[in-house]
Amino acid sequence: MIATTKRPVDTAPGTASPAWCLSIATGDSQTTSPHSPRQFLPIGLSEEVTTAARGSTEVLFEGVIYNRADLLTLLEAPITCDDANLILRAYERFGDEMLSRVKGVFALVLWDAARRFLLAARDPLGVQPLFYAEGDGRLVFSSSPDRIVSVPGISNRLNEVVMASWLCHRWPDLEETFFRAVKRIPPGYVLSVGPAGRRLRRFWDPLPPGAPVDWLTEGDLDRFDPMFSEAIGRALQLGPCGIFLSGGLDSVSVAAVATDLASRLHQPAPLALSLGFPGDECNEQSVQESVAGGLGLDQILVPFGEAAGPQGLLWAALEMGRGWPQPMMNTWNPVYMHLASLSASRGRNVILTGSGGDEWLTVSSLHAADLIGAFDVPGLMQMLLSIRRSYNFSWKNILRATLWKFGVRPWLAVGANGVLPGVMHRSRVRRVIERTPAWVAPDRELRRELDARAERDRYPPRSQGGFYVREMQQSLEDPLHTIEMENAYEKGRRTGAVLRHPFWDPDLIEFLLRMPPRLLNHGGRTKGMVRRAIARRFPALGFERHRKVFAYGFFNSLVTSEGPGAWSRLGGAKTLAALGVVDAGRVKQEVTSLLAGSNPRALIEVWNILHLEAWARTWA
C-alpha cells in the first residue's frame, strides 16, 4: 500500500515547506490488499509532483519529461495525460525497461502491488533528488532526507563517519547521506525491489566500463550549437527565466543563446542577475554590464556586501545552512539566493546557470598521462600552451602539475600497483590513515570505522580508453557533483525559482564525453566549443583571450576577517565533539592556527568545520 505521511518537519522561519514524503509497505506483514483505498497526497512543490494509479500500480513523479510528445505518440496517450500517468503507461507497455525511453529531469517511485514490485529512479545527472530509508516493513521515499527522518520508526541518528570523512576530504560513498538510516538513489540509477531481491543499477551510462569510446570527429563540432540550444530550450519551457550572469564564458554563452531562444518563443528576455565584487581580483562588473547591454537584458546588479547582509557572508552562510537537509557545499549561497529571490519577485520562476561548464567543456589534466604514454610530444606541448593561455597560472606551476602530478606519477602508481598490488595497497592505506588530522575522530570506534574505509578503497585500474576516460567515468559517480545538484534543488525550494543548468544536460554531456580533448580545446584554448561563438558575439570584450577568474584571494580575506568572530559566536565545536567527530581542544587549536595563516585550502577547512558544527546543532 502506498500512503503519504503528514508529520511536520521543524523548519526555521522563512525556510521552504517540507518536501513530499512517500511510505510504501513492502513487508510480508502487510494486511491491506492490493485494491485497498489509497491516499496519495504529496507535500511540497505540488505543481511539479503528479501521481497516478490504475489497477494494482501507483506512481509518484516529480520533474519534467523532455520527450513528452514522442511518448504521447508512442503510447497512444491523450495530450491531457500528465507525467505520472505517462510513466504508468510506459511501465504497462515496457515494464522496468521503460527508463531507457524517458528523457528529462525527474524522481519517480512506482509500486506494483500485484507483483509486489517497487521501482525508484532518479534522472541521469541527479537534478531531481531522491532519498529513501527502511523501517517497520516499509520503504520511505522523499526528495529530502530530513523529511524521511521525521517519519516515526525511522532513525534520525547522524552519520558520524560521513561527517568525519567530510572533514578529512574523503568524500562519502554515492549512496550515503549524513543520516545513518537514509540512502540516496544515485543519479542515473534505478532501485528495484521485488520477490527476486533488490538491485541498484545504472540505466544511463554514456561511457560503459570496458566498452570502446565512439570518439567524434572535427566534422561533429557543428552539432554542438543546436544541442546546446536544445538544452537551454528545455529550461525555457518552464517559463520566463533569470540567469546568474558573471563575466565568464559559461554564463555568457548561456545568456546569449537564452536571449535568442526567448525571442523566438515570444517570452520576456532573460533577467540578468549579477554580483558586484569589491577589488580587482574577481570584479567582472564592466563585462557583466557590457554583455547585458549588448543582449538588451534588464539587469539586477547587487554589490556583494549588500547581498551578503550586515552580518557578513560567513555568518549568513552558517545561519542559512543550519536548517538544510545536508551541509551546504557553497559558502556563496546567501548572495546567490538573494539574487534568486529578487528574480522570483520579478516573476522569473526559472534561473539558468553556467554550472557544469568547468566540468564538461574542459580537458581533464590526466590527459597528460595518456599523451606521455603515447610519446605524443606535440600533443603535450599543445596541452601545456592551452593551459597557459586559459589560466593565470605560472609556467612553474603548470609544468609541475601537468608533467609530474598528472603526467608521470599516474603511470608510476599503475606500474607499482601492477607489480606489487598488495604492498602498494597497504602503503596507500597507511598514507591515508597517517593524513587523518589528529583532531578528527577521537572516538576509538569511529576512528576504527574511518580507518576501515581507507582499507576498502582500491586504486582504480586504468580504463581501456586511458586515464582521461577513467577520469570522465569517475566524474559521473562523483558524490560532490550529486550533492551540488541537491543543494541547487534546495535553493529552488527556498527561493521559489527552479534552477536549471544547461551544461548538465544528459544529451549534451554524452556528446561532450565523446569529443576528443584536442577538439574540446579547439582554437588552442580551453572551452573552445563556446569561446569562438562568444568572441564573435562580443568582439570588443576579448573573449577569444579570456582567462578564468578565480576568487581565492577574496574568499581568503573573508574567512580571515570574519572567521574569528564566527568561531567565537559558535563557541567552538561543541556538538561535533559530543558526537565524537572532533576533539574539542585540538580542533580549537587547529582553527586558531588556520585563521592565522593564508593557505587557501586551510581556510576552506575553517569553513568546513564551522558549517558542519552549525548544521549538526540543528539535527543532532
pLDDT band of residue 84 (cuts 50, 70, 90) is very high
Q: Of residues 473 and 418, which shows the higher confidence score?
A: 473
- Check pLDDT > 80 for residue 423: no
How much is the average pLDDT of 53-79? 94
User: Are 373 and 353 in the same domain?
Assistant: no
Q: Is the pLDDT of residue 63 over 50?
A: yes
With respect to residue 116, please indicate whether it lies within any of the assigned structural domains.
Answer: yes
Mean of pLDDT values over 113-122: 92
Domain assignment of residue 209, yes or no: no
**At what angle are helices 552-570 and 584-596 packed, to 10 degrees?**
140
Find the mean pLDDT for residues 31-58: 58
Q: What average pLDDT does the segment 591-610 reach? A: 84
Same domain, 20 and 149: yes
Look up the CATH number of the domain holding residue 37.
3.60.20.10
**Predicted pLDDT at 192:** 95
With a cut of 50, say whether residue 31 has pLDDT above it: no
- Is 329 a member of any domain? yes
Residue 418, pLDDT score: 64
Q: Which residue has the higher pLDDT, 41 or 236?
A: 236
What pLDDT does residue 260 have?
A: 96
Are 37 and 170 part of one and the same domain? yes
- Res 420: pLDDT: 65
Whether 356 and 496 share a structural domain: yes
pTM score, whole prediction: 0.92
Q: Which of 498, 528, 548 is the last residue of a domain?
A: 548
Asked whether residue 208 is assigned to any structural domain, the reply reads no
Q: How confident is the model at residue 136 (pLDDT cuts 50, 70, 90)?
A: confident
pLDDT greater than 80 at residue 599:
no
For residue 415, with 0-12 CB atoms within 10 Å meaning exposed, 13-18 middle and 19 or more buried, which class applies? exposed
Domain count within the chain: 4
Query: Mind listing the pLDDT tens digit for each residue in 230-265?
Result: 999 999 999 999 999 999 999 999 999 999 999 999
Among 517, 533, 548, residue at a domain's last position: 548
pLDDT for residue 460:
62
Residue 223 lies in a domain: yes
Over 247-304, what HEC string results? Answer: CCHHHHHHHHHHHHHHHHCCCCCCEEEEEECCCCCCCCHHHHHHHHHHHCCCEEEEEH
**pLDDT above 90 (res 121):** yes
- What pLDDT is stored for residue 167 in this prediction? 94
Query: Which is higher by pLDDT, 419 or 425?
Result: 425
Task: Identify whether 211 is part of a domain.
Answer: no
**318 and 235 housed in the same domain:** yes
pLDDT at 25: 77
Same domain, 386 and 505: no
pLDDT in tens, 179-228: 999 999 999 999 999 998 999 999 999 999 888 999 999 999 999 999 99
Domain boundary pick from 469, 499, 517: 469
pLDDT of 417 reads 66
Query: To the nearest whole number, what is the mean pLDDT of the chain?
Result: 88
Lowest mean pLDDT: which of 40-44, 222-226, 386-390? 40-44
Taking residues 438-464, report their average pLDDT.
82
Do 187 and 111 have their domain in common? yes
What proportion of the chain, given as a percentage, has pLDDT over 90?
71
Cβ(617)–Cβ(323) below 8 Å = no
Do residues 312 and 423 share a domain? no
For residue 284, is pLDDT > 70?
A: yes
For the chain, percent of residues with pLDDT exceeding 70: 90
Residue 268 pLDDT class (50, 70, 90 cuts): very high
- Determine the pLDDT at residue 547: 85
pLDDT of residue 329: 85
Q: Is the pLDDT of residue 178 over 60?
A: yes
* Lowest-confidence region among 127-131, 522-526, 566-570, 598-602: 598-602
pLDDT of amino acid 419: 62
What pLDDT, on a 0 to 100 scale, did the predictor assign at position 524?
A: 92
Please give the pLDDT value at position 279. Answer: 82
The x, y and z cell numbers of residue 522, run together, are: 579547439
Q: Residues 250, 318: one domain?
A: yes
Shared-domain flag, residues 408 and 523? no
- Could you tell me the CA-to-CA distances from 146 to 49, 125, 133, 447, 620 in Å, in that order? 18, 22, 11, 26, 12
572-589: pLDDT as tens digits: 999 999 999 999 999 999
Query: According to the model, what pLDDT value does residue 163 have?
Result: 96
Evaluate if residue 448 carries a pLDDT over 90: yes
Average pLDDT rounded to a whole number, residues 426-445 = 89
Instruction: Determine the pLDDT at residue 9.
Output: 34
pLDDT at 426: 81
| Beta carbons of 127 and 489 less than 8 angstroms apart | yes
Query: Do 78 and 17 share a structural domain?
Result: yes
Give CA separation, 385 vs 273, 381, 404, in Å. 33, 6, 16
Q: What is the pLDDT of residue 28?
A: 44
What is the C-alpha to C-alpha distance for residues 366 and 103, in angstroms, rounded to an integer?
Answer: 31
Residue 124 has pLDDT above 70, yes or no: yes
Asked if residue 431 and residue 409 are part of one domain, the reply reads yes
Nearest to residue 50, comparing CAs of 40, 58, 39, 61? 61
Q: Tell whether 474 is covered by a domain.
A: no
Which residue range(s) make up the domain with 273?
Answer: 218-360+481-548
Cα separation, 591 vs 603, whole angstroms? 9
**Is residue 170 included in any domain, yes or no?**
yes
Give the number of other Cβ atoms within 10 Å of residue 147's Cβ: 26
Task: Assign 350 a pLDDT band (cuts: 50, 70, 90).
Answer: very high
pLDDT-based confidence at residue 414 (cuts at 50, 70, 90)? confident
